[in-house]
Each structure stands twice: as structure tokens, then as C-alpha cells.
Amino acid sequence: MSKPKSGLQFVAAPASGWCEPGTGVCHIGTTDEAASAEAIDETDDVSDRPGTRSDEHRRRRSPSTR
């Protein structure tokens, strides 16, 4: 935990994903990226998905999700 000026104590655990307050750009946490790649491999409607190979997903780091 860290303690910023607001007096709040902030959780130190990495988020699974978040959207940036300033830009609205969203990101997926690196620790969840591999899991999400596996998850999409299990879905039914991915045949038309570009770049569907899971190893391609795993190579990417903190991708923007918006």
C-alpha cells in the first residue's frame, strides 16, 4: 500500500485492467493477458477474429483496450 496526499491508502496489487482518467484509453494488466488469450480461444465466435493465435496475444504487453 502507498499513502498519497489524500490520506487514502492505495492497494498495491496490480489491476486486471483499467481505463485512464485523463484519456479514457483502457488497458489490460499484463498478468491477465495470457489468461484472456486462453479465454478467447475457448469462445465460439472467434473464427473471423484477426490475429487469433494465443502466442500473438502473449507477446503483447499491456495493450490498449480502447
Partner 1 sequence: MVEQVTHPEGSTVVIEVWSDLGCPWCYLGKHWLQTAIAQRQDADRFKIVMRSFELNPAAPKEPETIERALIRAHGGTAAHVMQAERQIQGIARKEGLEFTLDRLSANTFDLHRIVQYANDEGRGFEFFSRVQDGFFAGTLNPYDPDALADVAESGGLDGQRVRAILARNEYADRLRADRREGLELGATGVPFVVLDRRVAAPGAQKVSVYGRLLEQVAGLVPSERVS
- The torsion angle over the Cα atoms of residues 44, 48, 51 and 57, rounded to 10 degrees, is -20
Please name every residue paired with 27 in a beta bridge, in sequence order, or none if there are none: 18, 64
Q: How far is the CB of 55 from partner 1 (least distance, A)?
A: 14
- What string marks each residue from 5 to 44 as x (binds partner 1 by CB under 8 A) or -? xx-xxxx-x-xxxxxxx-xxxx-xx--xx-xxxxxxxxx-
- The contact set with partner 1 (CB under 8 A) reads 1, 4-6, 8-11, 13, 15-21, 23-26, 28-29, 32-33, 35-43, 46, 49-51, 57, 63-66
